[in-house]
């Protein structure tokens, strides 16, 4: 149905319009009319028309001013001016009010029907758009929590987040490059700063998870993760690299307000831990800080910066360079580790030129860290006397250039070992998987069977296999089967059906389809083509 408002002080005009509308659009319209500017405005507030025929010259408030008032409360109404006054100034104001048509009386029935049809079409289009928007919004309401959950899990898994960072930012509309992690934990009570009965309350939490989530989202623009036992992990984006004192205080007070309201409505006690702002690639560090804030705080809400945990550094200490160096080492980024090690070393020499022994100790500390990461990455054997010459070597070095060379060599070697061992492990795993496929392609094997043979979860194995083999598991298995089928087709004693069974397929029609897709010929055509040569 379409609501149509007729505004004209001439009764014959409104009666004629009603007749034309009811005749040409039977049972499609609800029509109301008013004869003065004031009554038009008042009627529009309650009637909320879709279309309004407006005369300009009416008693009291004129049509232009009436439209201005109606537009304030009804942004979608379509105005059609129908007046005896053909004045340019009026027409110009009508354009500013987004009037669909400016008609000068007298107007033919055909013109009225035509303009009404056009207006109705526009309204229908707008209604369809709104309906589609609602459908999309409804779907997003279902999908977004899943994406948010994946986002939080990816942060906690580390490497997975780094690969998917841009996708998550686009999907969740996160333009910021920094953020902090926040953790809500709950229990039956708090005793000596510790929440009690975490397992029991995690069962009850299923019923009130959405209450907590909505309370947090009402106060912050954030990503709220799924329920993890008695814990909810939250990401708060930030445009700034760190919060100042006032911002930190506001953040804490907002959380105190949230948990006060939650405690009133739920039979549960809360603790909240907040980590510091980091780059998106370092959010796991912020998560660890949030955990530490909860564990080391006696209060209900704690920010890591307010607690005597962690390590403080002298004002000009290059903590960012040091963290970047450690990150490059852990990733096995040889050139990146070399660059950051060189930057850090030159800072030490520049700021402490007379402290060679202290610099040597820091160099040794960093090298030992790098080598520990290399050993822990797997594939290397640790020998107790592995570093027996390190102390003597460092003590004997008598200039900064030689010390730098030793430092860079050791850091790069450790980083290189991490990369090589990772590649060797992956290559070995995929080689083992390929051997399993080669020995079992004639069976009805699945991704799960192959991943089980190398003791890796199917999801992670699938990604490893594609990265290493440059083809996904299904395509690789299919290629193996097709190559074997080609060999068997050389022997006419084997029927197509027998060959199909021999390569691990059960449906000859499916076999023919994938064979033709791969080779360009059906199995029969391929056999005839080969034997004719």
In a domain, 135, yes or no: no
Residues 194, 108 share a domain = no
- Give the global pTM: 0.48
In a domain, 52, yes or no: yes
Residues 236, 181 share a domain = yes
Residue 294, φ and ψ in degrees, nearest 5: -65, -45
Closest CA to 107 of 79, 130, 81: 81
Closest CA to 5 of 24, 38, 33, 29: 33
Residue 4, φ and ψ in degrees, nearest 5: -120, 130
Q: What pLDDT score does 327 carry?
A: 85
Neighbouring C-alpha atoms within 13 Å toward the C-beta of 421? 19
Q: What pLDDT score does 166 carry?
A: 86
Buried b (16+ CB within 10 A) or exposed e, 119-137: bbeebeeeeeeeeeeeeee
Q: What token pair was written down for 338?
A: 């070399």
Q: What pLDDT score does 167 carry?
A: 84
- End residue of a domain, out of 416, 443, 468: 416
* CA 121 to each of CA 21, 78, 253, 495: distance values in angstroms, whole numbers, following the listed order: 15, 11, 52, 64
In degrees, rounded to 5, the angle at the alpha carbon of residue 257 between the alpha carbons of residues 254 and 259 is 110
- End residue of a domain, out of 416, 434, 453: 416
In a domain, 245, yes or no: yes
Closest CA to 47 of 30, 35, 63: 30
Q: What pLDDT score does 331 carry?
A: 83
**CB contact set of 475 (below 8 Å; sequence gap of 6+):** none
Q: What pLDDT score does 44 carry?
A: 94
Residues 296, 236 share a domain = yes
Query: What is the rounded CA–CA span in Å between residue 161 and residue 222?
Result: 17
Write out residues in the chain with pLDDT < 50, as ranges.
Answer: none
Residues 430, 366 share a domain = no
Query: What is the rounded CA–CA span in Å between residue 117 and residue 189?
Result: 67
In degrees, rounded to 5, the angle at the alpha carbon of residue 453 between the alpha carbons of residues 447 and 458 is 35
Residues 299, 361 share a domain = no
Neighbouring C-alpha atoms within 13 Å toward the C-beta of 184? 28
In a domain, 49, yes or no: yes
- End residue of a domain, out of 382, 416, 450: 416
Range of the domain at 268: 174-306
CATH assignment of the domain containing 432: 1.10.10.60
In a domain, 258, yes or no: yes
Q: For 175-230, how does the pLDDT look when each residue is reduced to its tens digit (9 = 90+)?
A: 999 999 999 999 999 888 889 998 888 888 888 999 999 999 999 999 999 999 89
Total domains in the fold of the chain? 4
Q: For 303-330, how does the pLDDT look when each residue is reduced to its tens digit (9 = 90+)?
A: 988 876 666 778 789 988 998 898 888 8
Query: What is the rounded CA–CA span in Å between residue 161 and residue 273?
Result: 22
Q: What token pair was written down for 391?
A: 């102390």
Alpha helices in 158-243 (DSSP H): 159-171, 198-219
Report the 3 state secondary structure along 106-143. CCCHHHHHHHHHHHHHHHHHHHHHHHHHHHHHHHHHHH
Cβ(74)–Cβ(28) below 8 Å: no
Cβ(503)–Cβ(441) below 8 Å: yes
Cβ(234)–Cβ(273) below 8 Å: no
Residues 411, 486 share a domain = no
CATH assignment of the domain containing 278: 3.30.70.270
Residues 222, 180 share a domain = yes
In a domain, 215, yes or no: yes
DSSP H or E run through 30: strand 29-34
The full length of the chain comes to: 533
| β-strand partners of 491 | none
Residues 287, 189 share a domain = yes
What is the four-CA torsion angle of 416, 419, 420, 425, rounded to 10 degrees? 160
In a domain, 18, yes or no: yes
Closest CA to 85 of 67, 111, 104: 104
Residues 516, 490 share a domain = yes
The single residue listed with the structure tokens 């526009």 is: 122
Residues 198, 296 share a domain = yes
CATH assignment of the domain containing 7: 3.40.50.2300
In degrees, rounded to 5, the angle at the alpha carbon of residue 422 between the alpha carbons of residues 421 and 427 is 95
In degrees, rounded to 5, the angle at the alpha carbon of residue 422 between the alpha carbons of residues 419 and 423 is 85
**CB contact set of 119 (below 8 Å; sequence gap of 6+):** 50, 51, 78, 80, 100
């Amino acid at each position: 149905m379409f609501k149509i408002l007729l505004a004209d002080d001439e009764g014959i005009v409104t009666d004629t319009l009603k007749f034309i509308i009811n005749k040409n659009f039977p049972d499609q319209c609800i029509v109301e009319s008013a004869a003065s500017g004031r009554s038009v405005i008042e009627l529009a507030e309650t009637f909320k028309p879709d279309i309004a025929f407006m005369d300009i010259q009416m008693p009291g408030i004129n049509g232009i001013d009436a439209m201005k008032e109606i537009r304030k409360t009804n942004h979608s109404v379509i105005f059609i001016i129908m007046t005896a006054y053909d004045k340019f100034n009026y027409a110009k104001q009508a354009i500013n009010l987004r009037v669909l048509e400016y008609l000068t009386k007298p107007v033919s029935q055909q013109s009225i029907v035509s303009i009404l049809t056009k207006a109705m079409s526009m309204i229908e289009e707008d209604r369809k758009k709104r309906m589609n928007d609602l459908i999309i919004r409804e779907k997003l309401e279902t999908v977004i929590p899943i994406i948010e959950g994946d986002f939080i899990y990816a942060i906690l898994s580390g490497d997975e987040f780094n690969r998917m960072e841009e996708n998550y930012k686009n999907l969740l509309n996160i333009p910021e490059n920094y953020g902090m992690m926040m953790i809500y934990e709950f229990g039956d009570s708090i005793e000596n700063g510790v929440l009690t009965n975490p397992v029991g309350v995690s069962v009850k939490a299923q019923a009130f998870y959405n209450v907590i989530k909505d309370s947090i989202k009402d106060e912050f623009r954030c990503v709220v993760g799924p329920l993890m036992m008695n814990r909810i992990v939250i990401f708060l984006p930030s445009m700034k690299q760190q919060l100042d004192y006032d911002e930190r205080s506001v953040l804490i007070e907002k959380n105190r307000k949230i948990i006060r309201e939650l405690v009133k409505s739920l039979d549960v006690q809360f603790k909240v831990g907040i980590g510091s702002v980091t780059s998106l690639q370092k959010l796991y560090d912020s998560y660890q800080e949030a955990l530490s804030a909860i564990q080391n705080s006696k209060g209900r809400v704690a920010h890591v910066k307010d607690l005597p945990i962690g390590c403080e550094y002298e004002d000009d200490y290059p903590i960012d360079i040091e963290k970047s160096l450690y990150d490059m080492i852990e990733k096995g980024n040889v050139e990146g580790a070399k660059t950051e090690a060189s930057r850090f070393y030159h800072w030490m020499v520049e700021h402490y030129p007379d402290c060679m022994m202290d610099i040597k100790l820091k160099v040794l500390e960093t090298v030992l860290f790098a080598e520990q990461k290399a050993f822990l990455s797997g594939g290397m054997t640790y020998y107790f006397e592995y570093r027996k010459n390190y102390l003597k070597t460092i003590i004997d070095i008598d200039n900064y250039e030689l010390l730098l060379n030793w430092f860079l060599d050791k850091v790069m070697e450790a980083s290189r070992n991490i990369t090589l061992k990772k590649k060797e492990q992956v290559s070995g795993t995929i080689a083992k998987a390929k051997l399993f496929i080669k020995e079992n392609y004639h069976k009805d094997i699945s991704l799960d069977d192959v991943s089980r043979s190398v003791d890796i979860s199917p999801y992670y194995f699938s990604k490893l296999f594609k990265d290493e083999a440059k083809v996904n598991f299904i395509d690789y298995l299919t290629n193996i089967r097709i190559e074997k089928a080609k060999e068997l087709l050389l022997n006419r004693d084997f029927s197509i059906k027998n060959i199909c069974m021999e390569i691990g397929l059960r449906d000859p029609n499916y076999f023919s389809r994938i064979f033709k897709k791969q080779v360009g010929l059906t199995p029969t055509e391929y056999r005839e083509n080969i034997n004719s040569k």
